[in-house]
Structure 1
Amino acid sequence: MTIHSEAIEIPVDGESIAGTIVSPSAKVPAILFVHGWGGSQQRDLARAKQITGLGCVCMTFDLRGHEKTESQRLSVTREQNLADLVGAYDRLVSHPAVDSSAIALIGSSYGGYLATLLTALRPVKWLALRVPALYWDEEWKLPKQALDRQRLSDYRQRPLAPADNRALGACAEFAGDVLLVESEQDDFVPHSTLMSYRSAFVSAHSLTHRIVDGADHALSSDRSQKAYSSILSAWISEMVIGARLDRYPHHSPWYS
């Protein structure tokens, strides 16, 4: 199967952010990767290329405040980064190879938080969240970097319900399939935060919760990276690729 890689620019609020679309030739489901705070699309590209080989269009991109726009790190807000994600989503679904009714989001940490918010704004069928962070609703337009870190740490230790938090409220309305991946030794997003997310998905079609044993927040070790890749690939194969083969049986990359 032929795979095409295209570097793109995504217009947002009169500026542009960089992205990359990796796609096969046939009309297929699409997966949008959302990196965490301090990360970049480079961390997702290897996984995107692997999953594209299974028969999906994958897209990675850099949120404002990162990579080429790192100069905005101290000023960019959650509102602006959500606008980045909306722009990336809209660019992805406009791709001619994409089945717009079959969109998956894969978000890590801050990117997971933003991904849940996007589900309230755009159609999403599958949602994979690795160590999704939580932030209070107020100070929405304050620079993200200016949020009080100790207060965030305390906030994430609290049991929170959908009525308490906009992101959790979006989770409660999400009716698709969900993957939650937790790091056993996470110092930034504790078990209590994962439990708040898990309990919020009351309308989900399915919910899979996995813990990467011995892993820290950033998946610093090769073992942790491989474990997460294995979890993600298995879930994508079951949910996204499985649904694709049910809908387009003759588009299988193994069909001949």
Structure 2
Amino acid sequence: MHSDPVSIHVDGQVLAGTVAVPKTGVPGVLFVHGWTGSQETDLGRSQEIASLGCVCLTFDLRGHAGTESIRQSVAPADNMNDVLAAYDTLAAHPIIDKSSIAVIGSSYGAYLAALLTEERPVRWLSLRVPALYRDDDWTIPKGRHDRLALAHYRQERVDPADNRALKACTRFEGDVLLVESEVDDRIPHATVANYLASFRRARSLTYRIVEGADHALSDPAARRAFTGMLVRWIREMVVGAR
């Protein structure tokens, strides 16, 4: 906290005043949606978190929403560039504290969010049902990935040395929220376990399971449960740190 003197003019008089100003700006929160999703899924959560005193940014990845027509040509490398551009847009906001940025990713977006921590400063990281992809598929359009091979890969124990997203997690030193869906038919527990084991240097690691939830949180009760988990974590970690 620092103080700035001000002059208050009233009825021909000048009164001396002092404005107390926080040393840090406002925390920023970046949302990254999953494959075939859109920012629409995060708008409600972003509004709740914004009410806590954060600046939130949601956006549509390339190949989604307004650019869905090019989806079949979009590779993970392309969407990573989208995430970097979105992060830079958020960080450039004049009231953002650039040392206090949280990233919230779901599924494919969680995979990209983990990779983002290698490229930009991230203080808080929330990953819901994080997907995992083979490094060899990085520049291949996602629609052309071998789904059967990928399903087998996600059941394996993957060493962080062999996967760039998991390797990024081993280097992350901030706070982590990792959320699994109890009846997920896309991201098996083995994949979540690979992420859990990779956060070796995290300042804190919170792991939660949304009971009865599928991958997409199609049940309204499951959506509410996850939103509650996320908002409580943001309140504790982000708001509590101010």
Normalised by the length of structure 1, the TM-score is 0.85
| Structure 1 match to 2:175 | 177
3-state SS in 1 of match to 2:137: coil
3-state SS in 2 of match to 1:227: helix
Q: Hey, what's the Cα distance between the residues in 1 that align with 2:157 and 2:233?
A: 27
Residue ranges of structure 1 left out of the alignment (5+ in a row): 1-25, 245-256
Q: Hey, what's the Cα distance between the residues in 2 that align with 1:195 and 1:88?
A: 29
Q: Hey, what's the Cα distance between the residues in 2 that align with 1:71 and 1:39?
A: 14
3-state SS in 2 of match to 1:55: coil
- How many residues get paired? 219
| Structure 2 match to 1:212 | 210
Matches of residues 91-106 of structure 1 in structure 2 within 5 Å? Answer: 91-106=89-104
Question: Which digits, 9 at most, give the CA deviation of each residue in 1:14-61, with x for residues without a partner?
Answer: xxxxxxxxxxxx930000000000000011011001110010000000
3-state SS in 2 of match to 1:215: coil
* Aligned amino acid, residue 106 of structure 2: S
Residue ranges of structure 2 left out of the alignment (5+ in a row): 1-23
Q: Hey, what's the Cα distance between the residues in 1 that align with 2:94 and 2:25?
A: 7
Structure 2 residue 128 is matched with structure 1 residue 130: yes
Name which of 87, 111, 128 aligns with 1:89.
Answer: 87
| Structure 2 match to 1:230 | 228
Return the offset for 1:139.
2.4
Structure 2 residue 151 is matched with structure 1 residue 153: yes
* Aligned amino acid, residue 138 of structure 2: W
* Aligned amino acid, residue 103 of structure 1: I
| Structure 2 match to 1:239 | 237
Q: Hey, what's the Cα distance between the residues in 2 that align with 1:226 and 1:161?
A: 34
Q: Hey, what's the Cα distance between the residues in 2 that align with 1:178 and 1:139?
A: 26
Greater Rg over alpha carbons, structure? 2
Name which of 54, 57, 80 aligns with 1:56.
Answer: 54
Return the offset for 1:77.
0.6
Alpha-carbon RMSD: 0.8
Q: Hey, what's the Cα distance between the residues in 2 that align with 1:189 and 1:124?
A: 24
Determine what percentage of the aligned residue pairs are the same residue. Answer: 59
| Structure 2 match to 1:140 | 138
| Structure 2 match to 1:166 | 164
* Aligned amino acid, residue 151 of structure 1: A
Matches of residues 21-60 of structure 1 in structure 2 within 5 Å? Answer: 27-60=25-58
Runs of at least 4 residues off by over 4 Å: none
